[in-house]
Amino acid sequence: MFLLWLRIAAGLYGVASLLAIPAVLGNRPKGHRFCLPVALGGWFFHLVATIEMLAAAHHLIPVMADEIVSTLALAIVAIFLLIFFVYRTISFGLFALPLAFLLTVVPAIGPERYTFGSQVVRNGWIAFHVVMLLAAYAALLFSMLASFLYLIQEKRLKNKEWTKAGVTARPKTRPRGFLTWLPPLATMDQIAQSTLVLGFVCMTAGLFAGSVIAQEQVGIGYFADPKVLLSFVMWGLYVGILFIRRSSGLRGRRAAWLTSGVVVVVLAVWAANLLGSVHSASHRFGLK
């Protein structure tokens, strides 16, 4: 019976994650009102599922991999709810709720593992997984590009103001005509933020699809692969960029270097995942 409650909790976490994105990044009060009750409902069903799961296993401390992962997700949401009720901020839901969903969805499938109905369905999930991650990488690259163009345009406008004030600029710092195609600073900052949000959604969807694919072959051991854990760290860094940009209004040079650093980490994780045991197993079973 605990699998039913765990599946309901995973579904509610997924809905709360979708509500948290506009609530935190868009600062929409309606998202705040709906996100918290859904997350609280998911945590309640998750708590009931955890109690029943441990009772059925005849121990009070989680020892199996699925029990540990599920209990970790329960603790993450509990801390998020505690932070909200004490400090009245939902910002950490951008990190806690999607992570809880990703950690819960595989244990919610159950010990028998989900099996795809056909090779066509399996290939469709694989294609979705790859396309979503590539879209996330592309969005992150565009965010980095927009940040660097922001720096160029900012410097160009400053040089132009100095020239108008009657100060002679150095030849190498004079505004150049071919840079006139650059959009305004506000537009480029908005592009950098919007592509980050798009990439976050795509990366979360890609990790979810990858979790479903991997559990068919390796089960909950999917989370024991260091390369997979590194992928979740990469996802956490992505959330960190969104949170920093949203909370502190980070832009310009700092935003460009921060985004560039995460791009390097993303590319390193991507290369490492190609050599990881989960992806190797996928090749052996003909998944890719």
Concatenated DSSP letters of 239-288: HHHHHHHHHH---THHHHHHHHHHHHHHHHHHHHHHTSHHHHHHHHTT--
Q: What does each of the 288 residues of the chain score in pLDDT, given as a tens digit?
A: 788 999 999 999 999 988 887 777 766 655 667 889 999 999 999 999 999 988 888 888 887 877 888 899 999 999 999 999 998 888 888 889 988 998 888 788 766 555 676 788 788 888 898 899 889 888 888 888 888 888 777 777 777 655 555 554 454 444 445 556 667 777 887 888 888 888 888 888 888 888 777 766 666 666 666 767 777 777 877 777 777 776 666 666 677 777 777 777 777 766 666 655 555 544 443 444
Tell me the H-state helices in 180-252.
185-218, 226-248
